[in-house]
Amino acid sequence: MPPRKGGKRARAKKQAQNEAPIAKVAKKDKAKALEVEKEQQKGKITVLTVGMGDMGQLGLGEDIAERSRPAIVTKLDDEDVTSVQCGGMHNVALTQDGKAFSWGCNDEGALGRATKEGEDEEAFPAPVVFPSPKERIIQVSAGDSHSAFLHENGSILCSGAFRDSKGVIGLTASGQREGLPIRIWTSSSEKGVSVSSGNEHVAFLTDKGNLFTFGVGEQGQLGRVASCFADRGGRRGLKAILTPERVHVKWGPIESVFCGGYHSFAISKSRVAYAWGLNNYGQLGVGDAESYFVPRKVTNGERFCAFSGAQHHSLALGRNGRVYACGRAEYGRLGLGEKAEEQHEFVEIPQLASVVDVACAGSVSFAVTQAGRAHAWGMGTNMQLSVGADDDDVFTPQPVKGKNVDSRSIVHVSVGGQHASFLAE
């Protein structure tokens, strides 16, 4: 007997009525589970990484060559991590009890520990080996092939090597790479209080507000070496660039310092912001595209409380929680839209507010809001952004996505050459 007209529709309607509450409950349960997970994560810091991992820089093992969404670095789950910094292809993490962990490329000794090729030792976090097991570190930074460490006694240690346009120049005037951290600077009259790394240089502050730099100076990034001495120190030799020396500024003392790829920023206690170094795309934010070998005032610099610099662009964090960008515009790295042009002064990115942290490297940029949300924009080729299609360029800030960030609050971001790292709770 043929079914009555409308029978299938009636049965379908009845089935939908029966199933609708179930679907609604399932959705509600999922949201509740997410809230429970968020509550459980409060106070617990997790390290996340995303992007390319062919040199072990994701910390997930040598078999993990890439991740398009942030993944948990489980080897650090039992450590109370307070900071993570990305170098070109490696990372350094700091714990509450003053230990440092490293992972990634160790070709020049940047990890600060011995590793054996083919044994997966570079692809997972492991403790940095200091001159004494009782060394306590309070801040870390990372460049292309080096790592820097601020000791609790105010001294500066480094491992790895610097590389200029002619090749490796080591860390000291001897020209040797250092596979384990060595003490670069110490003083009986002042103590280091902050350290920052560019691609091939290091800057640090002392408790007297003095700023010191060392490393490669070819692009003016040291802020104290004239162009005639920039090529390996000229007739003065490597000692002129690899021995930490003071940078003199007119409106000192200095309160904070931030190294970009081949340039640097500093903020004085009187809120004057300085920039120096490579400026071929206007990344210094001083109003032109001329490179400078000595500090120059940033246009409207009194508005800013922090900076981050990539090779060809920079971000500034305003005291009002807004974000500003300058420099090269291609691939969306400025976050100012698809038709954005090169900027020689910092321009506000309108979509962002209440921001507490910014970071950039290569052709990508990130910002973290007070609410714990991360936003990313720029070139998508290396899958660092985690905002949509893996390889699409993103021209305005978009929320970072993934199950490991949806249930957590992001508190810090750092960016490397082809990867990014987050601290989340």
* DSSP β-bridge partners for residue 171: none
**Cα distance between residue 403 and residue 391, in whole Å:** 19
pLDDT value of position 120: 87
Q: pLDDT tens across 2-36, in order? A: 333 344 333 333 333 443 343 444 555 655 555 55
CA-CA distance, 227 to 240, in Å (whole number)?
13
Residue 93 is predicted with a pLDDT of 98
pLDDT: which is higher, 39 or 155:
155
Residue type at 318 in one-letter notation: G
Alpha-helical regions (H) of 295-411: 403-406
Task: Give whichever of 37-41, 119-123, 253-257 has the largest mean pLDDT.
Answer: 253-257
In the numeric block, the tokens 């459980």 are attached to: 40
Q: Say how far apart CA 104 and CA 54 lie, in whole Å.
A: 9
Render pLDDT for 78-106 as a digit per residue (tens, 0 to 9): 999 999 999 999 999 999 999 999 999 99
Averaged confidence pLDDT in the chain: 91
Q: What percent of the chain has pLDDT over 90?
A: 85
Give the sign of the dihedral formed by CA 279, CA 284, CA 288, CA 293: negative
291 backbone dihedrals φ, ψ, rounded to 5°: -75, 145
Q: How confident is the model at residue 44 (pLDDT cuts 50, 70, 90)?
A: confident
Q: Exposure of 280 by Cβ count < 10 A (0-12 exposed, 13-18 middle, 19+ buried)?
A: middle
Calculate what percentage of the chain has a pLDDT beyond 70: 89
Q: In the predicted model, is pLDDT for residue 53 greater than 80?
A: yes
Confidence of residue 117 (pLDDT cuts 50, 70, 90): confident
Let me know: does 283 contact 260? Beta carbons within 8 Å.
Answer: yes
| For residues 104-133, average pLDDT | 93
Q: What is the pLDDT of residue 7?
A: 41
Instruction: Render pLDDT for 364-402 as a digit per residue (tens, 0 to 9).
Output: 999 999 999 999 999 999 999 999 777 899 999 999 999
Closest among 118, 125, 63, 133 to 94, alpha carbons compared:
125
Note the pLDDT of residue 237: 95
Question: What's the token pair of residue 292?
Answer: 């400078």
User: Which range, of 115-129, 215-229, 267-281, 292-306, averages the lowest pLDDT?
Assistant: 115-129
The pLDDT score that the predictor gives to residue 85 is 98
Domains assigned to the chain = 303-425 (2.40.10.480)
Sequence length of the chain is 425
Helix, strand, coil shares of the chain, percent, nearest 5, are 15, 40, 45
182: left (phi over 0), alpha (psi -120 to 50) or beta: beta
Q: What is the pLDDT of residue 6?
A: 43
Contacts of 71 (CB under 8 A, 6+ apart): 48, 49, 50, 58, 60, 64, 404
| Residue with token string 């570079």 | 122
Which pLDDT score is estimated for 274? 97
More confident position, 26 or 263: 263
- Count Cβ atoms within 10 A of the Cβ of residue 227 and give its class: 0-12 exposed, 13-18 middle, 19 or more buried: middle
Collapse the DSSP code of 240 into the 3-class scheme (helix H, G, I; strand E, B; otherwise coil) and give the result: helix
Per mean pLDDT, which range of 5-19, 118-132, 230-244, 364-378 is the poorest?
A: 5-19
Find out whether 332 and 396 touch, Cβ atoms under 8 Å: yes
* 145-165 mean pLDDT: 98
pLDDT attached to residue 20: 39
pLDDT of residue 251: 84
Q: What is the pLDDT of residue 35?
A: 57
The arithmetic mean of pLDDT across residues 337-362, rounded, is: 98
